[in-house]
Each structure stands twice: as structure tokens, then as C-alpha cells.
Structure 1
């Protein structure tokens, strides 16, 4: 460890790390709070704040300029350096398994947007929004990617907040009714596949077959769909067509969803959302404010069209 690194472990260095978090919220060419205002927020003396600012300038994280009675302005900031010095670390996001090109594109877009915003970013993959949310609440991950519909359900039940909504067709392209060829959907004893680890799919399936008391529910994951249909063990389901297109055989028809309510629910399921813990929202606020969501969708679109190799 060199002398400069050791200085960041001192009292002034600790203040510099705390100050780095605050400065992530400031854009270049904007006036900074007064030294005594920073000191009050950090709970330290004016001299400590001045030494912390000097440490950050020496590190190349920021440069400031004094403009007389107008105050001190932030002339330049390197968000990557500020983030590193802040001690916030690499953001770990939990996403669905990358079994579709859309999810690969989403992971690629998120990595590009977060890194452009100056935040190191990594992805871990978990099946089921419930499992991903549990990891978030346990502090194992910092962010969770899921559908906007699932996010809305979880926000009402857990201390989590919405960080971003990426818009329609960013999470899935579309949902549809999968029906084994020749099956009468009105026939009694219809065998319907459902994945209870997915709140989205469970709600869609239950909505699509609402009022039916003669349904035989069959638990299934997307990996099992092809075999279940091929072995004549299920007759129908509602599924994400990004997943289903490689998992169904020639004997299965894809039909559009029915009523307007179901279609509206499917639309909310198609939008990707990012949630974070409520107690971590303040630290992530600067990233939320500077995250270029259009870059996420642009990179995702490039991957979907085959113009970009997935990178995450």
C-alpha cells in the first residue's frame, strides 16, 4: 500500500470517501455547498473537509475552481474514480437466466449503461423473481431485474424501491397461449402448465383460465415444456414466447391472449424493472439520476438484431 492509499485510511481519508459519495450527486460546472455545509453533513470540522477535498483533487477524482463571492464550483469530476474512492464497490445485479437473446441483450445494455455512469457492474443469474428478491433482502445482491408487474407486487410487501423502468418489450417480447394441436380449450379436465416460481406467469395463467374449476394444474418450468407437450402430459399454458419458441414442438399452436385485462397485464409483464433495497436507495440515487436508459435499450436492440455480440 503506498503513502497515498494510507492517507485514505486516516480521518481525513474517511471524510474524503464520504465526500466522494456526496460529490457523485454533483455535475461539473455547478456550485458546491460551502465547506461548513459539507462539515455539518459529514459531522466533522471545516479543516477535515478542506483536507478531504484536497485528497480528492490529488487523486484526480475532482477539480474545483473558486469564483469569488459566487463560491466554489466543481470544474471536473471523474465518476469512476469517485465511485472507487467512495467504497461503494461493484454493484451486483440478479437477473433471470440468460436463456433468451432478449435477456442477453438486457444484461449487455445494463452493463454498458452502469459502466458509463461510472459504477462497476456485475451480473449473477437466478431463476424466479422470488429467489432474486430474497437475495436482495439478504444483502447478497444490490439490484434485482424483474418485470414491472412483479416489481409493483414486491414494493407493496417488502422494503424495496423502484430504481428504473426500461419500458415495454425489454423484459419479454410477448406472451401467448400455447395449446396442443387438436385440444378443445372448453373441454373439462384441461391440463394446464404453471410455473409457481414466476409470479408473472402464474398471474397470467390464472387470469387466462379464470372461472374454471375443472382445470388440472401441472407444475412446470420452461425447460420442461417441450417434453410435457410431447408426452401428452399438458394441454395448454400461457408462456413467455421468448422462452417458448425453442421449447415447443410442431404439435403446439401459439394463440393470442384473450381479453383486454389479460393483454394489459401481459404488457406490464413485458417491461423490465430494476429494484433496490430501500436502505440502499440513497447511495444509488446518483446512479439512478445519471443512468442512460436509452443506452440500455439501444444495446439490447443491437443484440436482438445480431449487430452486437452479448457482453456481460
Structure 2
């Protein structure tokens, strides 16, 4: 361990690490808080803050300049060095399995945007919104990606908050009513496939077939859906069109959702939402101000159009 690393283990060094995390949210050419304000926030003395700032300047993480009565300004910062010194580690997000080009684009956009904000970033893929939400609540991940519909339900029940709503068609391209060829929507005893692992899909299906007491609900995972239709064991469903296209064969037809409420639910499900814990996520707090949400959707669009190779 060199002399500089040794100093990071001292009281001044600990303050430098804490300051590094705070300074990730400060842009160049902006006035820094006063030394006594930093000292109060960190619970240390003014001299410790001054020594910590000197350590950060020595490491070339920041460059500051004093402008008399105007205060001290941040001239330059290296977000990569600040992040490393802060000890915040890698930000981890939980996403759905990348089984569609849309999800591949979303994963690529997230990684691009977080790395542009100076944060080491990684993704873990989990099937089911409930599993991703549980991982967030247990502190195993910093972020979870859900539909806006699912996110609203989680936010109402748990201490999490909405970080971003990326807008329509960022989570899925939409939903449609899927019917096996030769089956009419009004056929009695219709067997409708639902995915119990999803928070939204069963509700969409029940909304689309509201008012009917003759429906038989058939459990179906995305992997088994085609088999059920091919074998004549399911007659209909409401499903994510990204998963339907080219995957259910020629034995089905897709119709638009006809109910206003079902269409509204489908729209909320098509928007990708990013949620995080309300408290305790220092790594997320350190990067939120620098995160460019438009970069996520721009990169996703490039992947969807075939202009960019997915990389996540």
C-alpha cells in the first residue's frame, strides 16, 4: 500500500471518501458549499474537511479555486476517480430476462447512461416483478426495472420511490388480444392463458374479459404459451406483443384490445419504470443528478432500429 492509500485510512481519509460521494453531485463551474456546511453534514471539524479536500485535489479527483467573497468553486472533477475513492462500489440493477430486442435495448441504454454518469454499473436478470422487487427490498440490488403499472403498486406498499418513468413502449411494445384460429371471442367456455408470475398480465386478461363468468383460466408461462395454443389447450390470452411476434406460429391471430380500461392498463404496462429504495442507497444518491434519462431511450431506440449492437 502506498503513502496516499495509507492516508485514506486516516480520519481525514475517511472524510475524503465521504466528500467524494457528495461531490459526485456537483457540476464543474459551480460554487461548493462552505467548509462548515460540509463539516456539519459529515459530523467532523472544519480542519478535517479542509484536509479531505486537499487529499481529493492531490488525487486529481477535483480542482477548486477560491473566488474571494463568492466562495470556492469546483473547476474540474473526474467522476471516475471520485467514485473509486468514495468506495461506493458497483451499482446493480435488476431487470427482466433479455428475451426481446426491446429489453436488450433497455439494458444497453441503462448501462450506457450510468457509465456516462461515472458509475460502475451491472445488471442482474430476474424473471417476475415480484422477484426484482424482493431483491430491491432486501438490499441485494440498488435498482429494479418494472412496468410503470407494477411500480405504482410497489410504491404504494413499500418504502421505494420512482427514479424514472421512461415513457410508452420502453418496457414492451404494447399488448394485443391473441386468439387461436377458428375461435370467436364470444365462444362460451373460452380458455384464457394467464401468467401468474406477472403482476400485470393476469389483470389485463381479466379486464379484457370482464363481465364473463364462463372463462376458464389456464396457467401459462411465456415458454409454454406456444405449446398451449399449438395443442389446442388455450383459446385466447392478452399478451405482450414483443413476445407474440414470430413466436406463436401461424395458428393464432392478434386483435387490438377493445376496452378503454384495458388499453389504459396496457399503456401503463408499456412504460419502463426504474425504482429504488427511499433510504440507504448512497450509491444511487451519488449518481442521480448526473443521470441522463434521454440517453437511455436514445440508445434503446438505436438497438431497436438495428443501428447499435446490444451491449450490457
The two structures share one fold, judged by TM-score above 0.5: yes
Inter-partner Cα distance in structure 1 for 2:217 and 2:19: 56
Shift of 1:286: 4.2
Inter-partner Cα distance in structure 1 for 2:79 and 2:175: 40
Equivalent residue number for residue 232 of structure 1: 232
Shift of 1:278: 1.1
Equivalent residue number for residue 199 of structure 2: 199
Shift of 1:281: 5.2
Q: Give runs of aligned pairs for residues 210-221 of structure 1, distance below 5 A.
A: 210-221=210-221
Q: 119-128 or 78-87: which moved more? A: 78-87
Shift of 1:224: 0.8
Equivalent residue number for residue 267 of structure 1: 267
Equivalent residue number for residue 284 of structure 2: 284
Q: Structure 2: state its 5+ residue gaps.
A: none
Could you give the per-residue CA deviations for residues 80-134 of structure 1, whole angstroms, max 9, x where no partner exists? 2212211211001010000000000000000000000111110110000000000
Answer whether contact 2:89 2:283 (CA < 8 A) is retained.
Answer: no
Answer whether contact 1:222 1:244 (CA < 8 A) is retained.
Answer: no
Equivalent residue number for residue 64 of structure 2: 64
SS in structure 1 at match of 2:37: helix
TM-score, L = length of structure 2: 0.97
Q: Structure 1: state its 5+ residue gaps.
A: none
TM-score, L = length of structure 1: 0.97
Inter-partner Cα distance in structure 1 for 2:37 and 2:297: 39
Equivalent residue number for residue 141 of structure 2: 141
Answer whether contact 2:91 2:284 (CA < 8 A) is retained.
Answer: no
SS in structure 2 at match of 1:74: strand
Answer whether contact 2:91 2:283 (CA < 8 A) is retained.
Answer: no
Shift of 1:179: 0.3
Equivalent residue number for residue 82 of structure 1: 82
- Over 3 Å counting, the alpha-carbon distance change for 1:163 and 1:281 in structure 2 is farther
Equivalent residue number for residue 2 of structure 2: 2
Inter-partner Cα distance in structure 1 for 2:222 and 2:307: 27
Equivalent residue number for residue 120 of structure 2: 120
Shift of 1:77: 1.1
Give the length in aligned residue pairs. 312
Equivalent residue number for residue 129 of structure 1: 129
Equivalent residue number for residue 73 of structure 1: 73
Inter-partner Cα distance in structure 2 for 1:91 and 1:203: 32
Equivalent residue number for residue 244 of structure 1: 244
Shift of 1:233: 0.5
Inter-partner Cα distance in structure 2 for 1:37 and 1:288: 21
Answer whether contact 1:90 1:122 (CA < 8 A) is retained.
Answer: yes
Q: Which stretches of structure 1, 4 residues or more, deviate above 2 A after TM superposition?
A: 280-289
Answer whether contact 2:161 2:277 (CA < 8 A) is retained.
Answer: yes
Inter-partner Cα distance in structure 1 for 2:139 and 2:282: 16
Shift of 1:149: 0.8
Inter-partner Cα distance in structure 2 for 1:208 and 1:4: 64
Answer whether contact 2:147 2:268 (CA < 8 A) is retained.
Answer: yes
Equivalent residue number for residue 31 of structure 1: 31
Q: 114-123 or 184-193: which moved more? A: 184-193
What RMSD, in angstroms, separates the aligned Cα atoms of the two structures? 1.2
Equivalent residue number for residue 167 of structure 2: 167
Could you give the per-residue CA deviations for residues 273-294 of structure 1, whole angstroms, max 9, x where no partner exists? 1001111356523422221111
Answer whether contact 2:12 2:52 (CA < 8 A) is retained.
Answer: yes
